[in-house]
Amino acid sequence: MQALDTKLDQLAHRRETLPQHAALRELDATLLVLRDQIVAAETEADDITRELTKAEGDVEQVRARAARDQQRLDAGQVSSPKELEGLQHEIATLAKRQGDLEDVVLEIMERLESTQSRHSELLGQQEEAKARYTELTAARDRANAEIDNEMAVLRPQRDTQAGGLADELVALYEKIRAQQGGIGAAQLTQRRCSGCRLEINNVELGRLRAADEDEVLRCEECRRILVRTPESGL
């Protein structure tokens, strides 16, 4: 029964410490960071788009004004040389201004493009992380199912063994098990308690030897139940 309980404890421990648990926790954190980065990239792209719309409007305004000036010039509406010179000067200034504003638009477009490409890169990373998450979850579930299956085989065996023992003995065993790191019963092998590994002294050994076969033997050191074996050295 102790061997089966130990095996069951090990399975339970294995289930708690599956490597997928740590990997999934890490991936959770990664996904959280990615989600924030994606939102930030989207916000940034929105801001830049607004900036672009405004800059394009600025270009359009200058272009329209220059077109109007040019039209006036072409229509010969301006006759005074001074006014003519002023208008020509303004057209030249507007052309320069339009060029500068178009450079601004280009610069904004480049920024938008780089933000959008970072955004799609982040989406790609998110997709990969999600796929990995799905894989890991499936692997974890498979490992859990395997452990469950093993436990489902062992548990009835363990219960059958416990059923063959006196209730008080099982209760004592469980009590010691809880206190002594899961080991309630230990074999007495070559005069040693296999629980605490200490050698039984001669006086005690004599007492154990003389004990009735039905008597429950306990290790003097660790108080575990001692199970007699042909190699006990009694």
Which tokens sit at 5? 């309980």
Please, are residues 99 and 4 in contact by the beta-carbon 8 Å criterion? Answer: no
- Out of 1, 91, 217, 222, name the contact with Zn ion by CB under 5 A: 222
Binding segment for Zn ion (CB under 5 A), chosen from 42-50, 129-137, 150-158, 222-230, is 222-230
196 binding Zn ion? (CB under 5 A): yes
Q: Is residue 205 a contact point for Zn ion (CB under 5 A)?
A: no
What distance in Å separates the CA atoms of residue 227 and residue 1, rounded to the nearest whole number? 11
Q: 186 — phi, psi (to 5°)?
A: -135, 145
Q: Is 208 in the site for Zn ion (CB under 5 A)?
A: no
- Nearest Cα neighbor of 1 from 213, 146, 166, 143 is 166
DSSP 139: H
Question: Is residue 184 close enough to count as binding Zn ion by CB under 5 A?
Answer: no
Question: Given the complex with Zn ion, which of 3 and 29 has the nearer CB atom?
Answer: 3
Give the count of residues interacting with Zn ion (CB under 5 A): 6
Q: How far is the CB of 234 from Zn ion (least distance, A)?
A: 15
Q: Give CA angle at 135 (131, 139), nearest 5°.
A: 170
In the list 101, 193, 200, 208, the residue contacting Zn ion (rule: CB under 5 A) is: 193
Cα gap 173→161, rounded to integer Å = 13
Tokens 């477009």 correspond to what residue?
Answer: 109
CA–CA distance from 183 to each of 7, 17, 25, 125, 219 (Å)?
11, 20, 32, 48, 12
Q: How far is the CB of 7 from Zn ion (least distance, A)?
A: 21
Q: Which is nearer to Zn ion, 126 or 180 (CB)?
A: 180
The C-alpha atoms of residue 96 and residue 18 are separated, in whole angstroms, by 68
Identity of the residue, 48 or 222, whose beta carbon is nearer to Zn ion in the bound complex: 222
Are 72 and 40 in contact by the 8 Å Cβ rule? The answer is no
Q: Residue 222 CB, nearest distance to Zn ion (Å)? A: 3
Stretch that binds Zn ion, among 3-11, 14-22, 116-124, 193-201 (CB under 5 A): 193-201
Cβ-based nearer residue to Zn ion, 193 or 227: 193
- Residue 91 found at the interface with Zn ion (CB under 5 A): no
Q: Judged by CB under 5 A, does residue 221 bind Zn ion?
A: yes
Quote the radius of gyration of the chain (alpha carbons, Å): 42
Applying CB under 5 A, does 51 fall inside the site for Zn ion? no
> For Zn ion, which stretch binds (CB under 5 A), given 168-176, 177-185, 204-212, 219-227?
219-227
Binding footprint of Zn ion on the chain (CB under 5 A): 193, 195-196, 219, 221-222
